[in-house]
Amino acid sequence: MSVRFAVLVSGSGTNLQALLDAAGQAPFEISLVVSNREDAYGLERARRAGIRAVHIPHKCKSRGAFDAELVEVLKSHGVDWVLLAGFMRILTPVFLDAFPNRVVNIHPSLLPSFPGINAQKQAFDAGVRVAGATVHFVDAGMDTGPIIAQGAVAVHDSDDEESLRTRILSVEHRVFPMVMKWIAEGRV
C-alpha cells in the first residue's frame, strides 16, 4: 500500500518543492500540504502541483487546540507520515501521540549542534568549518529526536551567513527527498 505523506510548512517551501519534485515519479503520495500561515508560498506550490493545500491559523488558539485541529485534518485525509519542511511551530503531545514515530523534521544544522532558531547564523558565528542539515524524528524536545540522515557542506573563508544558508539549503533539498523515499520503502 502506498504511503500517504502530509507536509507542513510555514514559509517559502523550497524543501516542499524538492519533495514534490521527487514524489512525481514515485509509488507514494503527498496527499496534503498544511500551513499555519495563509501567505506561505508553500501553499501556492502545493496548489500548482495539484495537491490539496490547507491553511489552519494558529492565532488566538492554545497550542493544544491548534494541534487537535491539525490532527483532525490529517487523519481525515488518511495521512500516515508527517514531514515538517520549515514548519515553525512547536508540536505538543496532542499531535505527536496521534502520529507516534511518524513525524520527521528537517533542521539546517548538523544536530545536536545548533538546535533552535537561526541555526545557520549560530553555525556561522561559531566559526565551524563544516556545516549541514539533519533529518530527524520529532520528539517532545527542541530538535532532539533520533537522527535519520545528515548532509554536510564545507564552510568557505569567503562565506557570509547568506552564502552558507544557501549551501545548506541545497543539501537539504537532496537529503529530505532521500529520506522520504526511504520511508516509502519501509526502510526507516
Q: Can you tell me the distance from the alpha carbon of 38 to that of 134, in angstroms, rounded to the nearest whole number?
A: 27
**144 vs 182 by CB, closer to ligand GAR:** 144
Share in percent of the chain as helix, strand, coil (round to 5):
35, 20, 40
Minimum CB separation of residue 186 from ligand GAR in Å reads 25
CB of residue 57 to ligand GAR, shortest distance in Å = 18
The footprint of ligand GAR on residues 65-94 (CB under 6 A) is 85-86
Distance CA(109)–CA(168), nearest Å, equals 8
Enumerate the active-site residues. 107
Among 20, 30, 71, 169, binds ligand GAR (CB under 6 A): 169
Binding flag, residue 13, ligand GAR (CB under 6 A): yes
Q: Beta strand 130-137 with 103-107: parallel, antiparallel or unpaired?
A: antiparallel
What is the nearest approach in angstroms of ligand GAR to the Cβ of residue 1?
28
Stretch that binds ligand GAR, among 30-38, 64-72, 92-100, 105-113 (CB under 6 A): 105-113
Q: How far apart are CA 71 and CA 69, in angstroms?
A: 5
DSSP assignment of 148-169 equals EEEEEEEPPTT--HHHHHHHHH
* Residue 150 sits in the site that holds ligand GAR (CB under 6 A): no
Strands 4-9 and 130-137: unpaired
Residue 108 in contact with ligand GAR, rule: CB under 6 A: yes
Binding of residue 20 to ligand GAR (CB under 6 A): no
Q: What residues make contact with ligand GAR under the rule CB under 6 A?
A: 9, 11-15, 85-86, 106-108, 119, 169, 172
